[in-house]
A and B are shown apart, each in its own frame.
Chain A
Amino acid sequence: MGFDPIGRSKNGEVTGPERQLAMVFDLNKCLGCHTCSMACKTQWTRDEGMESMWWTVVNTMPGRGTPKDWETSGGGFDEAGTARAGRLPTREEFGEAWKFNHDEVLGGNGKPDAHLAPKGDPKWGPNWDEDQGDGEFPNSYFFYLPRICNHCTHPACLEACPRGAIKKRAQDGVVLIDEEDCRGYRFCMEACPYKRIYFNAAKAASQKCIFCYPRLEKGVAPACARQCPGRMRHVGFLDDEQSSVHKLVRKFKVALPLHPEFGTQPNVYYIPPFAPPPLNEDGSANRNGSRIPLDYLRGLFGKRVDEALATIEAEIQKRRDGEKSELLDTLIVYSWPQDIFPDFDGDPSLL
């Protein structure tokens, strides 16, 4: 197939696609409900070898996530653009698709004393630390972080594949694994700093989020976005000034990449989370404090997070004072789907 230049670095310059699609995840609207996870599961990952895959998943933060400890598993590039060593996550760290003993418990010749339980005594799963978070009661904190393949501008996976089996599409920047060409070496899994690539043992191939390109090609938003009841996944082209994605990333600069220091230039952006103020020792509200430590947020979204939060906060104050706010109107989403994925407002049932 040859080595396509898009997404590769040459002399320190990364060749970009003609246009780049992006998603913005609004963490102040994420319900942690995993409708995205299920939408993707029934759409793409139900076949043999894919049972344990969650191409999109929601992590409770702070937490160890999916796969376990992904944030400290290496990969990506350092400041000089040199690839950093990465660790290959294990199946257990992703979480197996546990099997259950329904046949024993509910079956026609059941065991009246048996109880339903996952087989194999699991110790981790894709959403194992849901709603746990950190802090000390009552100053506990957590929030939800949905994660997919970031369809990076400089994908470490793509650079790491010795076969050139990973491509970045010219027309939309979607990063795809050519599963026919893939030989299952899994260098991509090591290289991806977000650890969003799974291994299909049945096919001996790596697999990951495909940004629902068959849907995109028909003008339909990705399943995770179109099925999100929280209406928190904006989809659009970064260079389309009318799109909410463009406005949030480029115009208002309130949507930030996750772990920008990983060096891959992700194309999924996040509206950082607010939280209620912490409480003082005596139980009164400390309105000057931050329940989620700001350093924690800076660690996730970089230093621009302060500015992004301040921008939104100022706009909310404006709104309370009766003024208009284009930023908040964009985040609100009045008319779905036009306001949230204007280029992909098609109804799949009508195709």
Chain B
Amino acid sequence: MQEPGFGSLTRRRFLEGSLGGALALSLSHLDFAVRPASAAGEKVRSGVDYQDFQDIYREEWKWDHVAKGTHFVNCWYQRGCNWNVYVKDGIVWREEQSGTYPQVKSDVPDYNPRGCQKGACYSQRMYDDSRVRYPMKRVGERGSGKWKRVTWEEALRDIVDKTIDVLETDGPEAVVWDQGTAQTTGCAGLGLSRLSSVLDMPVFDENCEIGDHRPGTAITCGKISFCSSADDVFYSDLILIWGGNPIYTQIPQAHFLTEARYNGARVVCIAPDYSASSVHADDWVPVKVASDAALGLSMAQVMIEEKIYNAQFVREQTDLPLLVREDTGHFLRESDLERGGDEDTFYVFDEQRGEIIEAPKRTLAWGDRVPALEGHFAAKGVEGPIRVTPVFARLREHLQNYTPEKAQATTGTHPETVRELARALANAKAATCITQSNFSKFYHGIEMERAQILVFALAGQMGHKGAGFIGFPYLHIDSVDMLGGASGSMAPHWAVRAMSLKAAPAFIKGTLGGLTREMVIYELAREEHKKRKFPSSILWLYKYGGLKEFYGGSQQWDPHMKRPLDQYLAEAEEKGWQTLPQTPPRILFEDGGNMLRRIRGYQKLLDELFPKLDLVVTIDWRMSNTALHSDYVLPAAGWYEKDDITWATPLSPFSQVITKAVEPWAESKSDWEIHCLFMKTLQQRAVERGVLTYNGIDGEEKRLDDVYDQYTFGRRYTENNTEEFLDEILRLSSNVGGARWSDVKEKGFARFTDIGNGYLSHENAMDVDLDDTMTACTWHTEKKQPWPTLTRRIQFCIDHPFYNELGETLPVHKDDPNISGDYPLKLTGGHTRWSIHASWRDEKNMLRLTRGEPVAFISVEDADARGIGDGDRIRVFNDIASTELVAKVTPAHSPGMVTIYHAWEPFQFKGRTSHAALTPNPINPVQLAGGYVHLQPRGAVCSPGSTDRATRIEMERVA
């Protein structure tokens, strides 16, 4: 109907420039008079009276030039929006979404104009009072707020000299780097990963500590990062918002949800409170906090009881047909049947031929075999007959504990609602979910995720258009993984080729041995994880951060534990299941993150860790709470002041860039330049001081006098030619269709053409069709490629000793423990509408559009019982700590639950104690499991995570 494109003047543009109504009318007679494209640039605005009062605003809407940009803060699920940055008089005047994403398919809504209110005010944020403009050195006590402006040279020389001292005495493991929202898949991210690789200094693997590690997904699917594109929901007819709040946290793509609903999809929001996402649902199913596992298991019970599960999917894709021993509940393995038999060969009972057969390893397809889901069989064991039965049969019996009637006491959900939901899921043509990293943050969140995946698997709602349980979203240009660790002794393309050659034998051996390519990638990552260069921050904090008492205090709250956490951890370490750091820290670099806001129980760091540190350096564009407690604060350039490439997610499958719209403000520098200058100064001072070598993390001698040369690939890519480096990064990437820097700089993004070979991105297991939406995990469902688990199937039976000991071999519900004391209220959280982490938490517009200070959402019932009114100051407390904030009393909130949304800075609370101080975050021992193929930790998964949700609290009005 409409003429496409902006290049031609269409009939709909007749109003342009015309002021007089009569003229507008006469122009309207130019209907369909499409002018040549070249004329569009020279618009004659006849009829504008420049003496008119209306000129005031016409004059305001002017700018000097426009550049592409985005915000490479970690918005995660909603990240990646293409903005135009309008510059006037050398400063950024404002930003506006480009709105230039191509439509993927004519019958599916497009992605425009992705963005949110936070991105829409970065132009103001970057110039406000929080901005760090100069290198600053602390002159008073740490945290006293007394600073002195210093030069970059002074700061770098002092920081580097202290670093060299520590390298000499303690080695590189004593110099730790915390990463954060500054990480990119361009030069800022490579800046840190190459630094770690060249210097052997550890960078925290904080994905688990943050609670984004999706532990239940990891143990069930063998991976976490699989996610369809956001527009794929347009093909869904049932969408469960379950463990997420997309109306707050997926603002740029939430329209696909509301539009899918207009397309006939039914949206069901499962949440304890009447959330902003419930507002746009067809049904809201309230559940009690932390009861989602029971809800899922009761749905599973219904599906099996009513025989509405998808038997074909269950047989093919899951471990449910595999046989388990009736005596132990463990899988029947080859080692049970033969002396010297292996531990990863499993069996089913073939109904067709009435015999026990080996489950194939290289494919999920059964051919003409039909594995039994029910029955009792006898296997010929080495020591006599073994009674066996399929996991499915065992699960069915186990689920009798979770009939909707029984589960109701736990969930508060009406049995008919559960039945109806189970039937809807089983009968949907294509059902999916919006599930974010919420359940990961519960002490028993692992079970919540297992139960969710179980219902999706029983319903066969995985890996077809519009359908699927949605994991953690991640997608990036794939050269950066290799470039991070590539040798600097040669040009990057040679270095990358050399790395590929080095890894080739592992791939050849692995794939010949029956592993899939993704299994080999994860196996290599497990080996890499043991090298201590990417340590679990939770375990590091446990050992060195003063948090042993909190993180290790699990047994005092968890009634299922028969021995202390320390014992589990000692066993895990001894058996090589978990890797702990070996050197106490001396220097901490906060590289764009914010540990003193983020860490649950962060107050312990100030009390116990910081006094032991010789040096704390923060690199950031804003004064964070960690910056306030640092010895040096180095000013990073703002997001519109540097060139870089950001990582993305399949939800919005476009690799975005930021470009230098304006010069870095004051004395700030790009992250890449800061890292380069650190390395340059390090090499220079090493030579000057004659410290030519040091011992690496593995004890081997390393050179210190060539670190800048190594870092910059022989000075090929340095602080002076960032754009050339970005171009090289793109050139070496296989999955953005050959895009080059000059293209993306103009366009702002490049569409992913493939998931690529990158770690985590590869987990998406799907092909990319540029003319279609993207559906995750189709390699498994369509190509029958095995899942990367021990059993090579979506695995619900985990017969690991820790799981057996703690009664979690099959998915269960466990009541959430009384973490931090016997108090009546449960503290929950979630990402906020108003900030991405703390980056906008103290931004004036975001504060003016809320209450201006931290609030706790509380129910009317709980408020009334305590004499608390809306707007009152309240004290929230437990055995661990106490904090003060403002009560926001709302009937939308569930009684018994108190919600404090994410990422208030401690300096926004009286006494500078935030709610993060109330959460001791005890480690759940099952998360220490390892030595079981896919349970063994690798980067970002399978080390212990956070457990702050449902911490017990009480509150009172502050007089």
Please list the residues of chain A having a beta carbon within 8 angstroms of any beta carbon in chain B. Answer: 17-19, 28-29, 31-35, 37-39, 41-44, 46, 52, 54, 95, 97-98, 100, 102-103, 105-113, 115-118, 122-123, 125-128, 130-138, 140-144, 169-172, 176, 178-181, 210, 213-219, 223, 226-231, 242, 273-277, 279, 282-285, 316, 319-320, 328, 331-338, 342-350
Return chain B residues, CB-CB under 8 Å to A32.
247, 276, 279, 833
Q: Would B48 and A217 count as touching, CB distance under 8 A?
A: yes
Q: Would A38 and B262 count as touching, CB distance under 8 A?
A: no
Chain A residue at minimal CB-CB distance from B843: A100
Q: Is the interface of A mostly helix, strand, loop or mixed?
A: loop
Stretch at the interface among B337-345, B807-815, B848-856: B848-856
Binary per-residue interface labels of chain B (220-235) against chain A in the complex, 1 for a CB within 8 Å, 0 otherwise: 0000000000000000
Q: Would B251 and A35 count as touching, CB distance under 8 A?
A: yes
CB of B583 within 8 Å of the partner chain: no
Given A31-B251, A335-B110, also A346-B13 (CB < 8 A): yes
Return chain B residues, CB-CB under 8 Å to A178.
53
Q: Would B129 and A28 count as touching, CB distance under 8 A?
A: no
Q: Would A110 and B417 count as touching, CB distance under 8 A?
A: no
| In-complex Cβ contact of A95 among B112, B120, B280, B848 (8 A) | B848
Q: Would A337 and B628 count as touching, CB distance under 8 A?
A: no
Q: Would A102 and B129 count as touching, CB distance under 8 A?
A: yes
Q: Would A138 and B94 count as touching, CB distance under 8 A?
A: no
Return chain B residues, CB-CB under 8 Å to A111.
145
Q: Would A39 and B145 count as touching, CB distance under 8 A?
A: no
Shortest B815–chain A CB gap in Å is 20
Q: Would A350 and B103 count as touching, CB distance under 8 A?
A: no
CB of B84 within 8 Å of the partner chain: yes
Stretch at the interface among B315-323, B383-391, B906-914: B906-914
CB of B2 within 8 Å of the partner chain: yes
Shortest B859–chain A CB gap in Å is 6
Return chain A residues, CB-CB under 8 Å to B100.
347
Return chain A residues, CB-CB under 8 Å to B860.
136-137
CB of B871 within 8 Å of the partner chain: yes
Cα–Cα distance between A127 and B54 once the two chains are bound (Å): 30
CB of B890 within 8 Å of the partner chain: yes
Chain B residue at minimal CB-CB distance from A178: B53
CB of B734 within 8 Å of the partner chain: no
Given A131-B892, A135-B891, A332-B263, also A226-B255 (CB < 8 A): no
Q: Would B891 and A134 count as touching, CB distance under 8 A?
A: yes
Q: Would B115 and A227 count as touching, CB distance under 8 A?
A: yes
Given A28-B261, A105-B907, A276-B284, also A343-B15 (CB < 8 A): yes
Pick 19 A–B contacts, CB within 8 A, sort by A.
Answer: A32-B279, A33-B833, A42-B123, A95-B848, A102-B128, A102-B130, A106-B130, A108-B149, A126-B849, A131-B276, A136-B891, A137-B891, A214-B58, A229-B254, A331-B262, A335-B103, A335-B109, A343-B13, A349-B84
Q: Would A125 and B19 count as touching, CB distance under 8 A?
A: no
Cα–Cα distance between A38 and B97 once the two chains are bound (Å): 12
Q: Would A41 and B414 count as touching, CB distance under 8 A?
A: no
| In-complex Cβ contact of B99 among A112, A172, A319, A336 (8 A) | A336
| In-complex Cβ contact of A115 among B48, B261, B889, B908 (8 A) | B908
Given A37-B117, A223-B96, also A140-B891 (CB < 8 A): yes
Chain A residue at minimal CB-CB distance from B101: A336
Cα–Cα distance between A122 and B107 once the two chains are bound (Å): 49
CB of B401 within 8 Å of the partner chain: no
Q: Would B252 and A229 count as touching, CB distance under 8 A?
A: yes
Cα–Cα distance between A97 and B408 once the two chains are bound (Å): 48
Q: Would A142 and B17 count as touching, CB distance under 8 A?
A: no
Return chain B residues, CB-CB under 8 Å to A41.
121, 845
Q: Would A345 and B6 count as touching, CB distance under 8 A?
A: yes
Q: Would B283 and A277 count as touching, CB distance under 8 A?
A: yes
Return chain B residues, CB-CB under 8 Å to A42.
93-95, 120-121, 123-124
CB of B25 within 8 Å of the partner chain: yes
Shortest A273–chain B CB gap in Å is 8
Shortest A26–chain B CB gap in Å is 8
Q: Would B2 and A342 count as touching, CB distance under 8 A?
A: yes
Chain B residue at minimal CB-CB distance from A126: B849
Given A229-B255, A331-B262, also A125-B851 (CB < 8 A): yes
Cα–Cα distance between A90 and B859 once the two chains are bound (Å): 30
CB of B413 within 8 Å of the partner chain: yes
Return chain B residues, CB-CB under 8 Å to A242.
1
Chain B residue at minimal CB-CB distance from A46: B124
Binary per-residue interface labels of chain B (19-60) against chain A in the complex, 1 for a CB within 8 Å, 0 otherwise: 111111100000000000000000101001000011011101
Return chain A residues, CB-CB under 8 Å to B278.
276
Known: A118-B852, A138-B894, A336-B112. 19 other contacts (CB 8 A): A18-B24, A35-B116, A38-B121, A42-B93, A42-B121, A52-B848, A122-B852, A172-B24, A176-B54, A214-B57, A214-B60, A217-B48, A227-B115, A320-B237, A332-B109, A338-B1, A345-B2, A345-B6, A347-B6
Chain A residue at minimal CB-CB distance from B247: A31
CB of B799 within 8 Å of the partner chain: no
* Interface contact tally, CB-CB below 8 A: 348
Cα–Cα distance between A128 and B95 once the two chains are bound (Å): 26
Chain B residue at minimal CB-CB distance from A328: B262
Chain B residue at minimal CB-CB distance from A144: B279
Return chain B residues, CB-CB under 8 Å to A319.
262-264
CB of B114 within 8 Å of the partner chain: yes
Return chain B residues, CB-CB under 8 Å to A44.
57, 60
Return chain B residues, CB-CB under 8 Å to A113.
911-912
Return chain B residues, CB-CB under 8 Å to A279.
286, 414
Shortest B167–chain A CB gap in Å is 32
Q: Would B147 and A108 count as touching, CB distance under 8 A?
A: yes
Shortest B406–chain A CB gap in Å is 15
CB of B416 within 8 Å of the partner chain: yes
Cα–Cα distance between A213 and B859 once the two chains are bound (Å): 44
Q: Would A140 and B892 count as touching, CB distance under 8 A?
A: yes
Return chain B residues, CB-CB under 8 Å to A131.
276, 857, 890, 892
CB of B739 within 8 Å of the partner chain: no
Shortest A6–chain B CB gap in Å is 9
Q: Would B53 and A226 count as touching, CB distance under 8 A?
A: no
Cα–Cα distance between A19 and B850 once the two chains are bound (Å): 38
Shortest B840–chain A CB gap in Å is 11
Q: Would A350 and B6 count as touching, CB distance under 8 A?
A: yes
Return chain B residues, CB-CB under 8 Å to A130.
850
Return chain B residues, CB-CB under 8 Å to A134.
891
| In-complex Cβ contact of B274 among A18, A141, A144 (8 A) | A141
Chain B residue at minimal CB-CB distance from A277: B283
Return chain B residues, CB-CB under 8 Å to A228.
113
Q: Would A229 and B114 count as touching, CB distance under 8 A?
A: yes
- Which of B16, B146, B147, B911 is most buried by chain A, counting CB atoms within 10 A of its CB? B16
Given A336-B99, A347-B100, also A316-B262 (CB < 8 A): yes
Return chain A residues, CB-CB under 8 Å to B263.
319, 328, 332
Q: Which of B673-707 touch A at CB < 8 Å?
A: none
Cα–Cα distance between A135 and B894 once the two chains are bound (Å): 12
| In-complex Cβ contact of A100 among B109, B844, B871, B895 (8 A) | B844
Shortest B47–chain A CB gap in Å is 9
Q: Would B847 and A137 count as touching, CB distance under 8 A?
A: no
Cα–Cα distance between A134 and B870 once the two chains are bound (Å): 13
Q: Would B57 and A210 count as touching, CB distance under 8 A?
A: yes
